[in-house]
């Protein structure tokens, strides 16, 4: 009954029921821990974990997973160390969670230690191997991720393909990432929206504009995947970088949802690269509305005007910054007109 309330996150009702139980069993304790963790209330989840009269492996796993899902990676590692100190041996669920933590931390040294523990503790199944591929890929250790990927028996699942494609795409090996994608298709594995985020990113980094458009269209027509904002962001970046600024603006206007700061930022950077002051102003003003306290858009626009000698327009941007009480961030600098 408690588990039923927890599943629909009715924690108040779950707590009422828990409080009237004379001696709650381990399942009830674990349900309470899981529920609070799912709601992001790690303090309360840890409180119930510590109050448990007897902790079993499921209890440790629930709490470690709670930290991992809420991106409290330090908390997860500290609890995992405490678990080992208590003599509780991890299982596949524990190790999978901890591998996800090392991925989030991008800590390859720790990831390798967990990999050694995996080899000593369990026979790695597909989910564990996928976690290892993801961890090594995120850390840039593509040789290690490829070795584990190749060890997987065919047919490999979509998570394995996404991990290897994403790893190669995010570390500058765009053509290799696209080769993996073509192999994935030949293996008759249905790609997901995550696959296409990596594929479109690879096209952007490799400067493959036509291919980017083709993959974007096939995502919809062949696989029935509705484009998300990340897909549009990659395509806008790709098109704009190569000087097709009007096409990029048309793409932004055709989106079924409002563009975010990544999309406007990509357009603004491309406008500066290709000296398109008119569209730069549009992109900068959109960014200013989205991030009213950030100086990034002001400074990019100011510097673009300064680089092209449009000092009156640059002065207007500086005045806007002062009027809106925008302070320059440390990572950005204004070009001084005295050097023109």
What are the domain boundaries of the chain?
1-89
The full DSSP string for 233-263 is HHHHHHHHHTT-HHHHHHHHHH-SS---HHH
The CATH number given to 1-89 is: 1.25.40.10
**Distance in angstroms (rounded) separating the CA atoms of residues 300 and 329:** 12
Tokens of 258: 């409002």
Q: Say what the alpha-carbon torsion angle 125, 131, 135, 138 is, to the nearest 10 degrees.
A: 130
Tokens 């098109």: give the residue: 239
Residues 237-296: tens digit of each pLDDT: 999 999 999 999 999 999 999 999 999 999 999 999 999 999 999 999 999 999 998 998
Tokens 């603006």: give the residue: 249
Tokens of 151: 């060890």
**Distance in angstroms (rounded) separating the CA atoms of residues 267 and 275:** 12
* Helices 261-273, 296-307: crossing angle, 10 deg rounding: 10
**Distance in angstroms (rounded) separating the CA atoms of residues 61 and 189:** 31
Tokens 């932004």: give the residue: 252
The predicted structure's pLDDT at residue 329: 60
The predicted structure's pLDDT at residue 154: 85
**Distance in angstroms (rounded) separating the CA atoms of residues 236 and 89:** 49
The predicted structure's pLDDT at residue 5: 83
The predicted structure's pLDDT at residue 338: 43
**Distance in angstroms (rounded) separating the CA atoms of residues 227 and 58:** 38
**Distance in angstroms (rounded) separating the CA atoms of residues 324 and 326:** 6
The predicted structure's pLDDT at residue 122: 92
The beta-strand segments (E) located in the chain are none
Residues of the chain with pLDDT under 50: 331-332, 337-340
* CB-CB contact of 50 with 20 (8 Å): no
Q: CA–CA distance from 340 to each of 146, 309, 311, 337 (Å)?
A: 51, 8, 10, 5
The predicted structure's pLDDT at residue 331: 46
**Distance in angstroms (rounded) separating the CA atoms of residues 320 and 150:** 56
Q: By C-alpha distance, which of 31, 26, 28, 24 is closest to 9?
A: 31
* CB-CB contact of 300 with 272 (8 Å): yes
The full DSSP string for 184-244 is HHHTTPPP-HHHHHHHHHHHHHHT-HHHHHHHHHHHHHTT-PPP-HHHHHHHHHHHHHTT-
The predicted structure's pLDDT at residue 333: 55
**Distance in angstroms (rounded) separating the CA atoms of residues 182 and 188:** 10
């Amino acid at each position: 009954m408690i588990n039923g309330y927890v599943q629909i996150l009715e924690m108040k009702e779950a707590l009422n029921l828990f409080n009237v139980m004379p001696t709650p069993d381990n399942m009830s304790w674990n349900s309470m821990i899981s529920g609070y963790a799912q709601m992001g209330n790690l303090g309360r989840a840890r409180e119930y974990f510590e109050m448990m009269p007897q902790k079993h492996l499921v209890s440790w796993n629930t709490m470690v997973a709670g930290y991992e899902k809420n991106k409290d990676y330090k908390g997860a590692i500290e609890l995992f160390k405490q678990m080992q100190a208590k003599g509780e041996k991890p299982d596949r669920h524990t190790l999978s969670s901890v591998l996800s933590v090392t991925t989030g931390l991008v800590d390859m040294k720790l990831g390798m230690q967990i990999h050694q523990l995996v080899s000593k503790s369990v026979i790695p199944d597909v989910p564990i191997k996928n976690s290892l591929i993801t961890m090594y890929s995120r850390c840039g250790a593509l040789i290690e991720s490829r070795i584990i990927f190749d060890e997987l028996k065919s047919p490999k699942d979509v998570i394995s393909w996404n991990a290897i494609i994403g790893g190669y795409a995010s570390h500058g090996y765009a053509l290799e990432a696209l080769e993996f994608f073509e192999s994935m298709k030949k293996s008759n594995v249905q790609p997901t929206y995550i696959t296409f985020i990596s594929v479109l990113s690879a096209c952007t980094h490799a400067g493959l504009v036509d291919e980017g458009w083709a993959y974007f269209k096939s995502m919809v027509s062949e696989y029935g995947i509705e484009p998300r904002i990340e897909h549009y962001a990659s395509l806008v970046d790709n098109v704009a970088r190569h000087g097709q600024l009007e096409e990029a603006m048309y793409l932004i206007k055709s989106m079924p949802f409002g563009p975010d700061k990544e999309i406007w930022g990509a357009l603004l950077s491309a406008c500066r690269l290709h000296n398109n002051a008119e569209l730069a102003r549009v992109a900068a003003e959109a960014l200013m509305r989205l991030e009213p306290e950030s100086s990034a858009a002001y400074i990019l626009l100011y510097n673009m005007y300064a680089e092209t000698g449009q000092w009156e327009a640059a002065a207007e941007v500086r005045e806007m910054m002062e009027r809106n009480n925008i302070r320059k961030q440390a990572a950005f600098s204004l070009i001084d007109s005295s050097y023109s």
